Structure 1
Amino acid sequence: MIKVKMIKKNNKTTIIANGHAKYSAYGSDIVCASFSTLLTHTINNCTNVSVSDEGGVLTAIFSDAKSVENKTLLRAFENTVSQLVRQYSDYIMIIS
């Protein structure tokens, strides 16, 4: 299961993600592919982002989360992850 956590504090948002959906065989897992594409798109198109990927845990820190562009992309990320959770709750979850 993919586990996603978003921490919002002041002008900083942190996304922590780990796990594998196991919806389908490796290479054809649409849940993993959807989430990976969404996360990569968000990271690549925001500014002031630092990323670490250690031990299967990806941590992305968005230092300017309230800029118009970043705020829009982070809101879209959150909304789309919520849609994925509604459709595939056995394979992806948001943790608090």
Structure 2
Amino acid sequence: MATVEIYTTPLCPYCVRAKRLLEKKGVDFIEIDLWQEPGRREEMVRRAAGRRTVPQIFINGQAMGGSDDLHALDAAGKLDPLLAQDGEGARRGSA
């Protein structure tokens, strides 16, 4: 299964929406809470090619964008194949 990482903040409804979709699909993910680890925001911005909003979602290290992007991939039938690719093994919780 793919390694999925998601940068979030606790009060972000888009973060909740993205995590719900991943959970519905049975995907374990690494959640990086930027309120608990504010020093990682610049890491997120760098990895996301300048995007500063949350969530930012990465599948096997590749930037997927935010919640709307994730749902669009799912609607187009492109998310499941990405999630099926081998990654380094994800786990739920803080990285």
Q: Same fold (TM over 0.5)?
A: no
Q: Which has the larger radius of gyration?
A: 1
**Higher share of residues assigned strand:** 1
TM-score norm. by structure 2 comes to 0.31
* TM-score normalised per structure 1: 0.31
